[in-house]
Amino acid sequence: MSIALEHIDPNSVDLSHEEIKRYSRHLIMPEVGMKGQKKLKAASVLLIGTGGLGSPLAMYLAAAGVGRIGLVDYDTVDASNLQRQVVHGTSTIGKLKVESAKERILDINPDIRVDTYNDLFTSANAFDIARPYDIIIDGTDNFPTRYLVNDVCVLLKKPNVYGSIFRFEGQASVFWAEHGPCYRCLFPEPPPPGLVPSCAEGGVFGVLPGTIGTIQATEAIKLIIGVGDSLIGRLMLYDALEMTFDTVKLKKNPNCLVCSPNPKITELIDYEQFCGMPMNDHQDEIGSGEGWDISVQELDQKIKVNSGVKNFRLIDVREEHEWEIAHIEGAQLIPLGTLAARMNELDSAQEIVLQCKSGARSGKALELLRGAGFRKIKNLKGGIVAWANQVDPSLPVY
């Protein structure tokens, strides 16, 4: 079933001769034509995130001629982004992501308007940012923002073009409570904190966001010009390794907390508290707190005093392929997934320092050992990233 944004008026804009030439391959398609291209020019789309998904979204929507594009992001371009965030480049490392993306898409299409919001998308600013736009596209990588985007869209009666990626797998759908289910209908509650690793911890196949992001862009354009069957009421699942696409039908939850006839959520809430996790993926200084942390400087001093890793054990809970990238001399590799089975290799009377990439997985390891009765344990705050940045710059940061 074709669903369109009926309020977009193609007669409110005109196409110049230059624009007619630019969009000629659209204009000769009867499904688009002059009317559809004018709708694109009259439309406005807000992108939450200018990273992996936001990169193809921003570039293809600009190239298609969407008249106004809003970019929301709080981050700066880092070298580790460039493997997948193709809207940015080496020349923009250190630059605000919204400005880097704006510069790139205006180079693609200088005839469009680009508004930037260099900030976290939060309950305090979400309504003000989202209200002027016809479509909201979720290109985020954390659960608090996904629930926030959903609730904003439901309360403002706007379509939410959803996408998510992890390692080799991706998902896409269109959540529009006026015509079908919302994100909360599918996921009423977030997963327990720490259960689902972030892309920074688990990785993402570089071309995967290109696939999912262009699908999201396709869905947005279809909504604007009113052609084709929307993903409303369907969740598309993509597996890059198997090169398969599957579709799962979704139903509206009659008891949904936000989009049911009698909703319990009628205003925005504290989404970080609701999900038990932050609205960002910055992993540099994660620790366990409450006296369970050890800093990289303290570990460095401990190693120097003992002339190496003696009188205590340094346990690296990352995966073997990460160990091959970089590891701290004297550490022992026991991946987190095997720690429970190999706990008999550890002596609870001996001091143990746990370490991973950022402190997140070693924090989980610490909780596991605490539950088993270990008390002389510490979590290396910031992990090997902090170690490389502050103690041993000869190690690569990944």
Contacts with 13 (C-beta within 8 Å, 6 or more apart), sequence order: 38, 41, 42, 67
CA distance 40 to 19: 12
What is the separation of C-alpha 192 from the centre of its chain, rounded to a whole number of angstroms? 17
Q: How sure is the predictor about 1, in pLDDT bands with cuts at 50, 70 and 90?
A: low
% of the chain with per-residue pLDDT over 90: 89
Q: Check the CA dihedral 30-34-36-40 and report its sign.
A: positive
Mean pLDDT of the chain: 94
Which of 172-181, 186-195, 203-212 is predicted with the least confidence, judged by mean pLDDT?
186-195
Q: How sure is the predictor about 287, in pLDDT bands with cuts at 50, 70 and 90?
A: low
> Which token pair is 161?
């073009």
Q: Check the CA dihedral 274-280-281-282 and report its sign.
A: negative
CA distances to 35, 124, 336, 393 from 320, in Å: 56, 42, 11, 21
- Among the listed residues 153, 182, 259, 356, the single catalytic one is 356
Asked whether residue 376 carries a pLDDT value surpassing 70, the answer given is yes
- Among the listed residues 153, 199, 256, 275, the single catalytic one is 199
Per-residue pLDDT, 199: 74
> Which token pair is 9?
């008026």
CA distances to 199, 344, 347, 366, 367 from 340, in Å: 24, 9, 14, 11, 11
% of the chain with per-residue pLDDT over 70: 97
Place of tokens 């009317």: 35
Single out the residue of 50, 40, 74 nearest to residue 224, CA to CA: 40
- Residues 356 and 316: beta-carbon distance below 8 Å: yes
Q: Angle at CA 35, nearest 5°, toward 32 and 36?
A: 40
202, with CB counted inside 10 A (0-12, 13-18, 19+), is exposed
Q: How sure is the predictor about 202, in pLDDT bands with cuts at 50, 70 and 90?
A: confident
3-state secondary structure of 48: strand
For residue range 103-156, list pLDDT tens digits in order. Answer: 999 999 999 999 999 999 999 999 999 999 999 999 998 999 999 999 999 999
Which of 179-183, 234-238, 283-287, 333-337 is predicted with the least confidence, judged by mean pLDDT?
283-287
Q: Look up the pTM and report it.
A: 0.81
- Residues 152 and 268: beta-carbon distance below 8 Å: yes
Per-residue pLDDT, 5: 92
CA distances to 135, 151, 379 from 122, in Å: 18, 12, 31
* pLDDT (mean) for 33-47: 98
275 an active-site residue? no
* pLDDT (mean) for 351-359: 95
Per-residue pLDDT, 2: 73
Q: How sure is the predictor about 4, in pLDDT bands with cuts at 50, 70 and 90?
A: confident
Measured distance between the N- and C-terminal CA atoms of the chain, rounded to whole angstroms? 45
For residue range 58-72, list pLDDT tens digits in order. Answer: 999 999 999 999 999
- The residue among 307 and 257 whose pLDDT is bigger is 257
Q: How sure is the predictor about 261, in pLDDT bands with cuts at 50, 70 and 90?
A: very high
153 an active-site residue? no
CA distance 240 to 258: 33
* pLDDT (mean) for 203-219: 97
Q: How sure is the predictor about 278, in pLDDT bands with cuts at 50, 70 and 90?
A: confident
Asked whether residue 31 carries a pLDDT value surpassing 90, the answer given is yes
